[in-house]
Amino acid sequence: MTAAFLDHFVILVPDLTKGVETYQKLLGRACDWQHVTPSDGTATAQFHLANTSVELLAPSGDGPVGSRIIEILDGREGVLSTLAVGTEDIGDAHFTAMRRGLKPGDVSVQEARFMGQRKRWSKFRCEDPSLGDVKLFMTANEGDPRIHIKAPDNAASRVDHLVVNTGNPDRAMAVFGAKLGIRLALDRTNPDWGARFLFFRLGETTIEFVSRLDGSTPPTAPDALWGVTYEVPNLEATHTRLTRAGVEVTEVKKGRHKGTRVMRVHSGCLSVPTLFLDNNG
């Protein structure tokens, strides 16, 4: 099994309407898709970027998944929760996941409609304990109506990378590299930054594992999704837009990688650590 691309990632929120309002302001673009799944007790909204989608998932009505979301949130305004990895063949992916010890659940099929459009998808969850707190699904879309609308200069155009905190980089390589078949693009230790970095390339998106050299995260601790960096065409324009909208952001500064500039977000991101980046440095 070779993971093909990051279909979407999930942020849990207590209220979908407020979550959509918050992220429309943060990302500078309208929500592209919404639907309700009564059997799960959930409501979903998605923002389609150039290389992946941001999904907000909230409780709605009665259902086991909605109840579990409330438990996980525990009063928080948002939790970065899940990676959904896209595959061309859900049956083959399930068979391979079983052979590699990822403990896949049953394949389920769902269908939804929004604004006259229909989509249908199959998915299963990998429940290998070594995934830690990173919930991971494999998904295959059938007749996916997803259309990426080009972002204005001051809006998020794509996800540059997601960050996972780990105390055990060797375990991360074994699970995400060997079992899931995600390409390890770079393994780098930088004492000046106090960390070892593993960069896994999943389609056009990077999953960055960070292991602190000071041992503050023990090897036995579960891996956990932590934050997101979005790419924008023009960081100054994004800074101006967010500041005028009342979102607290830092000043634009040079990024760690040559030719990049970054800006950190301190509010209006549902408590998910968030950066914006451009390549105009």
CATH number at residue 178: 3.10.180.10
Residues 14 and 136 in one domain: yes
**228-239, pLDDT tens digit by residue?**
999 999 999 999
Residue 272 lies in a domain: yes
What is the tens place of the pLDDT at every residue in 207-228?
A: 999 999 998 899 999 999 999 9
Domain total in the chain: 2
pLDDT tens by residue, 51-72: 999 999 999 999 999 999 999 9
Which of the listed residues 113, 142, 171 is the one where a domain comes to its end?
142
Any idea which residue has 């006259």 for tokens?
116
The predicted pLDDT at position 30 comes to: 94
pLDDT at 96: 95
How confident is the model at residue 3, as a pLDDT?
61
At residue 256, does pLDDT exceed 90? no
Higher pLDDT, 256 or 165: 165
Pair 30, 127 in one domain = yes
Q: How far is CA 84 from CA 133, 145, 199, 219, 258, in A?
A: 14, 17, 18, 25, 30
114 and 56 in a common domain: yes
What is the average pLDDT across 65-87? 96
Residues 134 and 188 in one domain: no
Confidence at 143, pLDDT banded by 50, 70, 90: confident
Looking at 112, 142, 172, the residue that finishes a domain is 142
Mean pLDDT value across residues 87-102: 95
Give the side-chain half-sphere CA count within 13 A for 20.
Answer: 17
**Which residues, 6+ apart, have CB-to-CB distance to 211 below 8 Å?**
166, 167, 168, 169, 195, 196, 197, 198, 217
Same domain, 66 and 162: no
What does the pLDDT average to over 6-12?
97
Residue 49 lies in a domain: yes
pLDDT value for 215: 86
Residue 263 in contact with residue 252, Cβ under 8 Å? yes
Q: How many CB atoms lie within 10 A of CB 86?
A: 22
- Between the two ends of the chain, the Cα-to-Cα distance in Å is 38
In which domain, by residue range, is 200 found?
158-278
Task: Give yes or no: residues 176 and 123 share one domain.
Answer: no
Does 148 reside within a domain?
no
Per-residue model confidence as pLDDT tens digits over 175-192: 999 999 999 999 999 999
The model's pTM is: 0.95
Task: Decide: 237 and 252 in contact? Cβ < 8 Å.
Answer: no
158: pLDDT strictly greater than 60 = yes
Residues 165 and 136 in one domain: no
Pair 83, 174 in one domain? no
* Structure confidence at residue 146 as a pLDDT band (50, 70, 90): confident
Handedness of CA 102, 105, 109, 112 (dihedral sign): negative
**Residue 101 and residue 163 in one domain:** no
What confidence tier does 4 reach under pLDDT thresholds 50, 70, 90? confident
- Per-residue model confidence (pLDDT) at position 2: 57
Question: Is 151 a domain residue?
Answer: no
Mean pLDDT of the chain: 94
